[in-house]
A and B are shown apart, each in its own frame.
Chain A
Amino acid sequence: MTGIAFPAPDPSILARKSEIVAALRGLVAAPDAVIDDPVELAAYETDAFTAYRRLPLAVVLPGSTEEVSRVLAYLAREGVAVVPRGAGTSLSGGAIPLEDAVVVGVARMNRVLAIDLANRTARVEAGITNLAITNAVAEHGFFYAPDPSSQLACTLAGNIAMNSGGAHCLKYGVTTNNLLGVTLVLTDGSVIELGGEALDAPGYDLVGLVCGSEGQLGIVTEAVVRILPQAEGARPVLLAFPSSEAAGACVADIIGAGIVPVAIEFMDNPAIRICEAFAKAGYPTDAAAMLIVEVEGSDAEIDAELARIVAIARRHGVTAVKESRSATETAQIWKGRKSAFGATGRIADYICMDGTIPTGRLPEVLRRMAEIVAGYGLRVANVFHAGDGNLHPLILYDVNDPEQAAKAEAAGADILKLCVEVGGCLTGEHGVGIEKRDLMRHQFTETELALQAAVRRVFDPAEILNPGKVFPLDLAKAA
């Protein structure tokens, strides 16, 4: 795909590569922390938005906040662009490099610094993986709630940059609701502490601003996150429906009945078949649509709540009800859902959309999305967080066919415009990155974008952090 423009690289920066690399080597202690060999750099040329790739000038992997500070101050002083990177799992191209930029990765900074059960907090380095936080506190009966599908690989730093969600955020919220404090390195090299172990912080809510800022305000090197006690138990139920409309109406009625499950996940027939073929989770492959609804509590509480949910599902013509009877079955059910993207990747190339819509518009939007994609002669598989209206249509295409690629991109853009049209937004949890950058004007006015850009420049006046992302390239600089 070539539809998305990148800023032209600055030849004067490219010409200084060896000088910049040498200077970076002097700023970080570990001998292998600076990468400039083109073969090794290839590992950093893209993220999970693999249709686009650019080889960066160099990659530096600092080992401490101090090193990040020195590196950032140096690069800012020299006018070199910086692309912050966690694990490179962004689905929107948030971590894709530029040819004249240095990638600053925090993956080596992955320690747990303190666990405080009485306060229900953990202080960690930002390069830690999402799942490693839960693993570090699990023995005490706690967990870290946001659970993106890539949680085995993705870093907290990336989660903070994108304000990542996950399947269980219907009950527990997304990253911003579980983040209490950050250590932030600014482009002038200064290190600031925002928030901490208390539930709120003085002054403007800068922790809230930094969360979801896509690496354009500073680099987060440490964070304090909220950890929660694990539920006594949790049990998912699979509900099969004869139509997507029936499944969508069932979701609305569950919520309307005052029940807030931990998760309500939706899959349509193509997604069910793809995931079942991969995970052997016992999904009903003949169903038009399926919900995974998970509830938590004691056995008796779970029984009572599932009974309410199944009764509602019966009113909507549920064709099969399958409750998990063991931890193994529960793991199977979730494995199918969480491997949806990977499993889809085995049968076709795809682009994954991430718009959010008001849940009441679900049946209509599902129908119109199918029409849009069919109009381009392509196929779509739908798997998404139905409880909060966060859609993940996977548009299937052949990456080696430029015409199909262009069509897939166009269909994706049409779908996101549809999301905005019905009262939703371009991205629920993946971020804007480069992928949705040029659609921002469909959601925001020029003055709204200008105010966001002005706030960004308070932190990074020269816009050296993650340039070319989030904001349309031709956005005028307001006074």
Chain B
Amino acid sequence: MEAEQSLLERCDLWGCIQCGKCTGGCPVSFKTTLNIRRLVYQALVEGELSPDGMAELWDCTTCGTCVLRCPKEVEPSDLIIALRTTLVDGGVIPPSIRDALTSVFRHGNPSLMPPDERADWAEGLGVKNISEGADTLYFVGCIPSYDDRAQKVAKALVKVFQKAEVDFGILGVEEKCCCNEVRRVGEEGLFEYMVEEQRELFKGYGVQHIVTTSPHCFNTFKNEYEGLDIKVQHYTQFVAELIEGGRLTFTGELNKVVTYHDPCFLGKQNGVFDEPRRILRSIPGLEFREMDRNRDRSLCCEGGGGRMWWEGTNPEEKLATSRFEEVLSVGADVMAVACPFCLLTFELAAKAGGYDEKVQVLDIMELVAQVI
């Protein structure tokens, strides 16, 4: 940990001109008191910044919009993560986030689930373990491993892989949390510890190619696992290749109007906008319609950056709810997603807002699996 470094040494904020583009684009700035532009200014003026009592720091979804749009290449969300680190170190942290971190450390997943049940979802599917050797490691992720709803996505992806005759394996009970969110809630120490472990695991099995369910795992493997010399793809990238290379062919039709919600960690943060759309457009019978806010202007679902484990300072107002108004306005039957966080967040909001009768929230793989 870099506890001795001052805040301004840890975060390079001096380039900031206080233009407000960060706060202007922040998806939660309208619903909470979090104002990242002001925090940056306070940090510069005061040199140090005490995060005590700043509950709104936990509202940040780490969607990356502030970083993406800053004209001066300042990374404002670094400051939030640094302040969270101070809070984590001092133990001043929402209990649900603390529990998630403890669970990652003890069980390898944030949901207090038993590690030896991690691969139960794959029982009877004929999925081999990576120890048997395979071209591709399918990194399932915590939520698709344990959550009933998200397991359907993992199963759909397995069906797709099998149909396309992909030689793949999973880590089974050895798989552990990628720790993308662990890092974002400020637990850098745990992140580094877990990275070390996973890297050795991948190395041990001679993994050359990883495909993830979650854009969050994809992001951290691709950008933050130092020295990981492995090709990492989100499943949308890989499956688009399978379809376009003629390895995956459709046998049925899907007569639905479908729109797509860009996950922040896939779209804004990693520029993967086209592949999910290409997959959807290739499905026979499917009519694809864009929402007004798409691609770089997509709206965060509020599931990232630890928000999966904490509902924030203003739980009444959900961005996911407003998103459904947009889905309805384009006349879509299905809101397609490509991220387990988005899937669960939107399903919850759909039920709470009564949208579930009009709109189905489905992962792209669930749609594909219906027509192969």
* A and B associate in one complex: no
B interface with A by C-beta (< 8 Å)? none
A interface with B by C-beta (< 8 Å)? none
